[in-house]
Structure 1
Amino acid sequence: MKAIATAGWGPKTKLVLSEMPAPFSLGDEDVLVEVHAASVNPKDWKLNYHLAMAATPLGTRRLPPLFGDDLAGVVVDKGTRVQGLDVGDEVYGMDMRLRTASLAEQAVINQQRVAKKPKSLSFTEAASLPLAALTALQGLRKGGAEQGKTVLIIGASGGVGSLAVQIAKYLGMQVTGVCSTRNLEFVKQLGADAVIDYTQGDYRKSAGAFDIVYDVTSYETPLTCKVLLGENGHFISTGGQGLSMVATPLYRLLGKKANSVVVESYREDLGYLTELVELGALHPVIDSVYSLVDSDAAYARNRSGRCRGKVVIEIRS
């Protein structure tokens, strides 16, 4: 089958279209999915970079060669203990093993990590949701999101941020989004009650205090956002890079309300996202769409930090 594989490590990693063996190990609780679309997430290239940098000369630098986490496609085979999914079902999801290996014509995924896709969405739209939307949902839950609370979302125009704004509004929260000048109107259209342009100076001095500060950029820490946290305020970070990887868990150890989001993919949460989509409360935001052969360019777009929503790769048109 055609699949995207890695060539090289760290910041010089290249993604190349290769011929790979089709998945052959189908567990009793797995489904085999004919992949129609997959989306790009920073997790993949950050993982490749950080593990390469941490590897010792005597250590091994082994990762599964295939890339991709999110997928949307059609079930073409299933294990003997799979329930609630049948051959021919249109599904979407992701696996929290090291990688789903979704940038391929076929992928194997556990039944609990995949759900029937929203009928109103195309495969391309559905593929953009799993990791980003689950991160948005589970991060807000960790912060104690509920009706009437205030939340500041730092990075509100990106893949996770654009979905977090929508979910927070559905939960009845007062939402303030932080973004660049060019994205102010876009974040307002997503439903934000207020927007802050971070290019106009240090907004921490005047933004006020919030019940939840959700940093989806991973650049901030509980200390840099201390003045933004109200009494009993909760700092949440995607925690994927920089000082946030260390500072957030250390801050929590001191008894403060701070968490990093460790995303779990469950069929139940995917089902909840489907409900929001069908209610019209959540819609994917697609920055750009690439073909499988152009996957390296798709990841370059993601690394640019200029994405408005998600970058998607179509395996089948």
Structure 2
Amino acid sequence: MHEEVTGELFLRPPEERMVKMKAVIWTGYGGPQVLVPSEIETPVPRENEILLKIHSASVTAGDCEMRRLELPLGLSLPVRLYAGWRKPRRIKIPGQEFSGEVVKTGSPVSKFSVGDMLCGTTGFRFGAYAEYICVSESPDEMSGVMAGKPENLSMVEASALPTAGMEALHYLKESKLEKGHKLLIIGAGGSIGSFALQAARHMGIRVTAVDSGDKLQMLSDLGAERVIDYASDESPGSTGEFDSAIDMVGGRGVLKRLGYVRPGGSYFLAFAYIRHLLLAPFIRLLLGKKLNITSSSQSQEELQRLIHFTGTACISPVIHKCFPLSEAAEAHRFAESGVKQGNIVLTAQN
């Protein structure tokens, strides 16, 4: 299998074929055990590519959903058709977020230089669970985005910034909230929720955060005006109290939780199903509320805006725990345990 992996991914002169790197190979759909540490050939940058020495790669909810092939909005079938029917063949190395250093460039590369510290996403190329990755200096819209690492963040923090940060700022921008407005964040203790909380507080927005009891102190420390244990009988607020809500949980409680948002307000649903798409126009017509299932475009412009905002606001992703690259399976188990606060990160370099 490993010969197949290296043969598909990396074409290089004979004198360079013995250079190995550590990577995590995605061997099948299912539990964390399908993520297998391995050694494969280190890629060599081709024309218009850069070789990144990956420092860190985040472990996101999307990574776990992709591994299990349990995706919302009926996406599991098309993704299976793309990646491989019985097991992933087109995508060998998982991971979509990274921070790293440019160590080599192909010709002609002009946007980046050796020594540049970058963070970004890999899009549908995946491949971040490795010591090295080759990426285009100008990736297309399906191949991710990248930019210089924010100076106020560590490499570990920068690896967890792009996706969660862009989604959080997208929700806040689309909500059109202003200073003094009230925001409800359900599932605030995860990667997107914890960043949205910090960003909202920086903007002067009053935040009520809902999550499990073990995360409430963290949420309070991040600036939540009120914290609620979802397992308690305590109500997040009164009917129509909030100007907007960000729901990172979804499920069958969406219609009930919509009641906390005022008429004309927006309810952002991060993990939606087809039934939510069908309900959205009726909710708007009958209740005068916007059930918003959109996500950020993950564009270069949005990443640059995020990096500027992060530096100006002096906020950073919450890092709960780091795992070595060889323990990717254990990192996925921890990410799915329900106890993580903020982000989980794999470190690729000792």
- TM bucket (normalised to shorter chain) is 0.7 to 0.9
| 2:259 alignment partner in structure 1 | 227
- Pair 1:108-2:134 in alignment: yes
Question: Per-residue deviation at 1:185?
Answer: 2.2
* Equivalent residue, structure 2, for 1:248: 276
Tell me how far 1:291 sits from its aligned partner: 0.5
Aligned-pair CA distance for 1:255: 6.7
Q: Are 2:100 and 1:73 equivalent residues in the alignment?
A: yes
TM-score (norm 1): 0.87
SS at match of 2:256: coil
Distance 1:23 1:265 in 2: 25
One-letter amino acid of the structure 1 residue matched with residue 328 of structure 2? S
Distance (Å, rounded) in 1 between the aligned partners of 2:208 and 2:34: 37
Range moving further from structure 2, 278-287 or 17-26: 17-26
CA contact 2:27–2:35 (8 Å) conserved in 1: yes
Distance in structure 2 (CA, Å) of the matches to 1:233 and 1:310 = 29
8 Å contact kept, 1:184–1:196: yes
Larger deviation: 255-264 or 184-193?
255-264
Separation in 1, partners of 2:147, 2:183: 29
2:129 aligned partner, one-letter code: L
Which residue number corresponds to residue 164 of structure 1? 196
In structure 2, what is the equivalent of residue 18 of structure 1?
38
User: How far apart in 1 are the matches of 2:299 and 2:333?
Assistant: 29
Distance in 2, matches of 1:51 and 1:214, equals: 22
Question: Secondary structure at 1:192's aligned position in 2?
Answer: coil
Cα deviation per residue 1:225-247 (whole Å; 9 max; x = unaligned)?
221121112111212xxxx3223
Tell me: CA distance 1:312–1:258, structure 2 relative to 1, closer, same or farther (3 Å).
same
Query: Any gaps of 5 or more consecutive residues in structure 2?
Result: 1-20, 139-144, 285-289
Name segments (4+ residues, structure 1) moved above 6 Å: none
Q: Distance in 2 between matches of 1:86 and 1:12?
A: 36
Matches within 5 A, 1:118-137: 118-137=150-169
Q: SS of 1:64's equivalent?
A: coil
* RMSD over equivalenced CA pairs, Å: 2.7
CA distance in 1, matches of 2:135, 2:163: 14
Q: What do residues 33-84 of structure 1 show as CA deviations (whole Å, max 9, x unaligned)?
A: 110111100112212323697469x955435021111100111234556554
**Secondary structure, counterpart of 1:201 in structure 2:** coil
Note closer, same or farther for the CA distance 1:190–1:110 as it changes in structure 2 (3 Å cut).
farther
Gap change, CA 1:8 and 1:60, over 3 Å in 2: closer
1:259 Cα deviation after fit: 2.0
Question: Residue 305 of structure 2 aligns to which amino acid in structure 1?
Answer: Y
- What is the rounded CA distance, in whole Å, between the counterparts of 1:268 and 1:81 in structure 2? 23
**Matches of 1:24 and 1:85, distance apart in 2:** 16
Percent identical: 29
Which ranges of structure 1 fall in alignment gaps of 5 or more residues? none
* Structural mapping, 1:240-279, within 5 Å: 244-254=272-282, 256=284, 257-279=290-312
**Is the partner of 2:31 in helix, strand or coil?**
helix
The partner residue of 1:308 within 341, 345, 349 is 341
Preserved CA contact (<8 Å) 1:104 1:315 = yes
CA–CA distance in 2 between the matches of 1:44 and 1:77?
Answer: 27
2:32–2:332: 8 Å Cα contact kept in structure 1? no
Residues 33-44 of structure 1: matches in 2 within 5 Å?
Answer: 33-44=52-63
The Cα shift of 1:294 comes to: 0.9
How far the C-alpha of 1:212 sits from its partner, in A, is 1.2
Could you say if the C-alpha distance between residues 166 and 93 of structure 1 is closer, same or farther in structure 2, counting changes exceeding 3 Å? same
2:182 maps to amino acid: T
Task: Specify the SS of the correspondent of 1:301.
Answer: helix
Alignment of 1:76-87 (within 5 A): 76-78=103-105, 80=107, 82-87=109-114
Task: Judge conservation of contact 1:167–1:281 (CA < 8 Å) in 2.
Answer: no
How many residues are matched? 310
**1:6 aligns to 2:34 (yes or no):** no
Question: Following the alignment from structure 2 to structure 1, what is the Cα–Cα distance between the partners of residues 225 and 117?
Answer: 35
